[in-house]
Chain A
Amino acid sequence: MNRVKYRISWFIVVQEITSSNTVVRTFFLLNQRVNDLVDISQLKGFRFEFSLSVEIMKLDFSGLESSAPLYGGSNELLSDGFSAAPSFDLPVTSDFDGFQKNSIQMVKPAKGTTTLAFIFKEGVMVAADSRASMGGYISSQSVKKIIEINPYMLGTMAGGAADCQFWHRNLGIKCRLHELANKRRISVTGASKLLANILYSYRGMGLSVGTMIAGWDEKGPGLYYVDSEGGRLKGTKFSVGSGSPYAYGVLDSGYKYDLTVDEAAELARRAIYHATFRDGASGGVASVYHVGPNGWTKLSGDDVGELHYSYYPVEPAIVEQEMTEAVVA
């Protein structure tokens, strides 16, 4: 009886057929080939012992995933071990790429706003404007863009209002659950990570969130920037929104770590005011909050229209020539 040891390497072959933006993948499953060989060999009366070294080419398909589903409904080969993508009918259009891009652009709300936050000696200063705009139309001048997650943590809103409001409230719930489960407050690091992970899992689905999580925990003041692309950054100074370049200009030139609370509040207010002056999509009321060791407090909410005239009062024009009635002699 021959005992033959075979070293067989099987590759999983992937075939990609691309035809008009659809991708079909065919896998040759390992098991079937091996079973075939075994069946045939038994018929012939030999005993084979294989040791298989399977080199599987790990191909990373995450880049190919698009928000549009795979063409066609079910495919038995693919459903084994792969989660079925949610599917709907593809639109009948001559330019599918352009259609998809345009429809995403249509739903994507522009981040027309100015929010900023910075860490300084006395804690975190958070400020925002209060305008909501839809294209060119101002839909509201009194939107609350600083969201109170819990008494010692604040979140700012930029992007889709519904998205920000919902997910911040959801984050507040998760933070409270953490407190109850662990008998201690959640850290700013932990809270921002919770939010970032949620937003990452919805990546590509059209959420628009550009938020800053500011708080005071056991390690002191904390500030994180989290966005709907899944990014999460720790930092000491951030500004988010269409008015952020203007706010950064003022913030960067006036920032010092050793500011007092009043000086920092004035810096934040000034930065928001300058952003509302230059940016068409920012305006309304400049609200300033301070997060200290005992939690947050709202410092001021000044109407930006009035702030302008307090910073730059109108001087009466110098009258050079004045017409008066001629005196009749």
Chain B
Amino acid sequence: MSIFEYNGSALVAMVGKNCFAIASDRRLGVQLQTIATDFQRIFKIHDKLFVGLSGLGSDAQTLYQRLVFRHKLYQLREERDMKPETFASLVSAMLYEKRFGPYFVQPVIAGLGEDDKPFICTMDSIGAKELAKDFVVAGTASESLYGACESMFKPDMDHEELFETISQALVSSIDRDCLSGWGGHVYIVTPTEVTERILKGRMD
């Protein structure tokens, strides 16, 4: 098994009408053994910007701490929050700094940009940005997730429908993956509120 499959993870982000959703599984494992069923993979940078980090758990936590540090410095200097596009460039640059000894993570960035326009993007472990207009996926269940999202996604969904869609896509994909699952964590972000929900999934 490769290092990206050591801990197991599943991440997906989707765009709706003036809102976005980002969801992850909750399992932390050591290869086939499950260690925790409440592992946090999605982190808030500010109220309108979330980042999910799939791959090696230890690198995900370390990279998150570095990103929070950089964002806080930015806030002190610029006296405002970072735009998602800027944040994506920051993550990409930080990952490429470690080109020859990379962080074994695949980030998924989701945020509301100017005029509350939703923005999502994903990267590989050395910072190649992939901007998408509909959905992005990462993790050990990514192939299943691509299939599920492709078939379930519709453009311009409102936040209720978006929650249903992303939850169904996540749960059906992680049910086909040994290394991710044990519940789901979904964040729905609109210009006025952030809703965090925990999904009841198959615990096997």
* A-to-B contact residues, CB < 8 Å: 112, 129, 131, 133, 135-138, 141, 242, 276-284, 304-305, 308-309, 314
B-side contacts of A283, CB under 8 Å: 178, 202, 204
Q: Is B170 part of the contact surface with A, judged by Cβ < 8 Å?
A: no
| B31: chain A residues within 8 A (beta carbon) | 280
Complex partner residue of A280 from B8, B176, B200, B201, CB under 8 angstroms: B8
Q: Does B32 lie within 8 Å of A112, measured CB to CB? A: yes
Asked if B175 CB lies within 8 Å of chain A CBs, one says: yes
Inter-chain contact total with CB atoms closer than 8 Å: 60
Cα distance, A137 to B178, chains bound together (Å)? 6
CB distance from A210 to the nearest CB of B (A): 16
Query: Across the two chains, which residue of chain A brings its CB closest to B181?
Result: A280
User: Is the CB of B1 closer than 8 A to any CB of chain A?
Assistant: yes
| Contact residues of B between 86 and 107, Cβ < 8 Å to A | none
Picked from A277, A281, A309, the residue with its CB within 8 Å of the CB of B200 is A309
Instruction: Please determine whether A137 and B200 come into contact, CB atoms closer than 8 angstroms.
Output: no
**Taking CB as reference atom, which chain A residue is nearest B2?**
A136
A280 to B32, CA, bound (A): 5
Q: B34 near A279 (CB under 8 angstroms)? A: yes
Q: For A133, list chain B residues within 8 Å (CB).
A: 178
Chain B residues with CB below 8 A from A138, complex form: 175-178
B101 to chain A, nearest CB (A): 25
**B179 located at the interface, meaning its Cβ lies under 8 Å from any Cβ of chain A in the complex:** yes
Distance, CA A272 to CA B32, complexed state (A): 16
SS class, residues of chain B in contact with chain A? loop
B140 in contact (CB, < 8 A): yes
CB within 8 Å for A135 and B1 given contacts A277-B203, A277-B204: yes
Given A136-B5, A138-B178, check contact A281 B203 (CB 8 Å): no
- Within 8 Å of chain A (Cβ to Cβ): is B29? yes
A116 CB to closest chain B CB (Å) equals 16
Q: Are A280 and B1 interface neighbours, CB within 8 A?
A: no
With A136-B1, A136-B178, A138-B177 known to touch, is A281 a contact of B32 (CB < 8 Å)?
A: yes
In the bound complex, what is the Cα–Cα distance between A133 and B178 (angstroms)? 7
Q: CA of A277 to CA of B32 in the docked complex: distance in angstroms?
A: 11
A272 to chain B: closest residue by CB: B204
Given contacts A131-B178, A137-B178, list 20 more A-B pairs with CB under 8 A. A112-B32, A131-B204, A135-B1, A136-B140, A136-B178, A276-B203, A276-B204, A277-B203, A278-B34, A279-B33, A280-B29, A280-B32, A280-B178, A281-B32, A283-B202, A283-B204, A304-B203, A305-B203, A305-B204, A309-B200
Q: Give the distance in Å from the alpha carbon of A280 to the alpha carbon of B178 in the complex.
A: 5
Digit string of B5-25 for contact with A (CB within 8 Å is 1, else 0)? 100100000000000000000
A240 to nearest B CB, angstroms?
15
Expressed in whole angstroms, the Cα–Cα distance for A255 and B34 within the complex equals 25
Taking a contact as CB atoms under 8 Å apart, the answer to whether A304 and B178 are in contact is: no
**Contact present for B34 and A280 (CB under 8 Å):** yes
A177 to B152, CA, bound (A): 55
Q: Answer whether A277 and B1 are a contact pair too, CB < 8 Å, given A137-B178, A282-B204, A305-B204.
A: no
Minimum-distance CB pairs A-B, first 4: A283-B204, A305-B202, A280-B178, A276-B204
Q: How far is the CB of B33 from chain A (nearest CB, A)?
A: 6
A280/B140 contact (C-beta < 8 A), A136-B177, A138-B176 known? no
Contacts of A276 in B (CB 8 A): 203-204
- Are B34's CB and A112's CB within 8 A? no
- Residues on A with beta carbons closer than 8 Å to the beta carbon of B203: 276-277, 304-305, 308
Taken together as a complex, chains A and B put the C-alpha atoms of A123 and B8 apart, in Å, by: 40
Please report the C-alpha to C-alpha distance between residue A141 and residue B33 in the assembled complex, in whole angstroms: 18
Task: Kindly provide the distance from the CB of B140 to the nearest chain A CB, expressed in whole angstroms.
Answer: 5
Residues of A within 8 A of B201 (CB): 305
- Complex: how many Å from CA A304 to CA B200? 13
Q: In the complex, which residue of chain A has the Cβ closest to the Cβ of B32?
A: A280
Contact B5 A280 (CB under 8 A): no
